[in-house]
Amino acid sequence: MNIVIQGVEICGVIAVLAEEMRAQGHSVVTIADHNPLYTKQYDHGLSNFFDKSDQSTFRNKRNRLSKAMSRVARPLSNRLSTSMRTKVCLKADLYLQVWSGWQGEYALLEQLSRRGVKIATMFMGSEVRYYPLFKKQYGEEDWVFPQQYGASRDEKLRRLQMHEKYADAIFSVPDQMGLATRPYHHIQVPINADDIDFNVPGRDRPLVVHAPTNRGVKGSEVIESALEQLRAEGVPFDYLPIDRIPHESLQNILSVADVLVDQVILHGPGWLGFEAMAAGCAVATRFLDSSPACFRPPVHSIDRRNIVGRLRELLTDQPRRCKLAVDGRRYVEANNSVSKVVENIIQCTLHSSASVKDYVPEVNASLPRIAH
């Protein structure tokens, strides 16, 4: 099967899925911009189709030519890039989009649908999460999110509705789907557990790690304030804050840490939480008790109102930390293998009408329908 994966690279997911799909015998083309924290390569660039992620002499020359074209004739270069990208996508049997929100996206979805290409969408977070609604749904009305997350309701609604109209299968989670009207599948995190060193240090004085991609969204001030309070009480632990280091280095740290404190506002575990579980960390994160049976990871649930007490319990209970670490690795191996995630994406997309959806949103009749 010919597969195209296009989108914004989050946590290396595009490269990881592509590698497994190729191993399963599929022909795969990846379209994504390079993420500086990952050493992944892609066939074409998202911002500029002619950008390549490897450093071969031929492709470097083509990149230089493309950049020169952009400087002297940017509109022409953009049209040519979009045209070439569309041609590649229309050759696919299955088109997988990761993230939403770039120029030409809606027109491409319509063309793919008309051509009969199967479409799968993976919503990754803030591209569709409408934060004012999220705050109301999950009791976070007094939380102030960073200004850059305040995109208009109409734009996020339009993104959702375009994919709800054209995609055969949508993969997401409830805390980013408050505007959704169509049932969807849980987005499972693909983890190559064999590539992650599993180690349970079992320290009496645990090493605690916090590695936020965005402090305002993860609730880092709340987390660090709670840790300071526990330190003042005399609870023994060491704390290592991490800020945007290369992915390989982060994985190495997780393999020697005891606890990952992930987030208290949004719901987890996400990519980092599952990697930590695979590495042998006990994971403390906000978790929705209403999650379906397909998403029941062994984590230590926290939120910003109970964090001090819940972290006190975890940091002073070495046997519990060790049990969470061992159970976490087993869970990842059983539920998050890349092969299993890929097979689920393909089956749910090719047999969309028969596949059972994990979430059925409550339809809000007051939502405006945006013209397509």
Q: What is the pLDDT of residues 28-84, one digit of tens each?
A: 999 999 888 888 899 999 988 887 654 443 345 455 555 555 555 677 777 888 899
d(CA 337, CA 186): 15
Q: pTM here?
A: 0.92
d(CA 43, CA 22) in angstroms, rounded, equals 13
Mean pLDDT throughout 321-341?
98
What was the pLDDT predicted at 262? 97
Predicted confidence at residue 150, as pLDDT, reads 75
- The CA distance from 137 to 132, in Å, is 9
Picking from 137-151, 172-186, 256-270, which range would have the lowest pLDDT averaged per residue? 137-151
Q: What is the CA radius of gyration of the chain?
A: 21
Question: SS3 of 137, please?
Answer: helix
Compute the average pLDDT of residues 86-103: 95
**Single-letter amino acid, residue 359:** Y
- Nearest in space to 86 (alpha carbons), one of 63, 67, 59, 104: 104
- Mean of the per-residue pLDDT values of the chain: 91
Pull the structure tokens for residue 208. 């605690």
Q: What is the pLDDT of residue 52?
A: 66
For residue range 264-310, what is the model confidence (pLDDT) as tens digits? 999 999 999 999 999 999 999 999 999 999 999 999 999 999 999 99
pLDDT band at 175 (very low <50, low <70, confident <90, very high): very high
- Alpha-helix runs per DSSP H in the chain: 13-23, 57-90, 105-115, 131-137, 153-166, 215-218, 220-233, 247-254, 271-279, 307-315, 318-335, 338-350
Residue 371 has pLDDT above 70, yes or no: no
**Mean pLDDT value of segment 130-146:** 94
Contacts of 131 (CB under 8 A, 6+ apart): 145, 149, 150
Residue 215 has a pLDDT of 93
Q: Which of 171, 267, 177 is nearest to 218 (CA)?
A: 267
- Cα dist from 30 to 45, 178, 256, 306, whole Å: 8, 29, 33, 43
pLDDT value of residue 58: 39
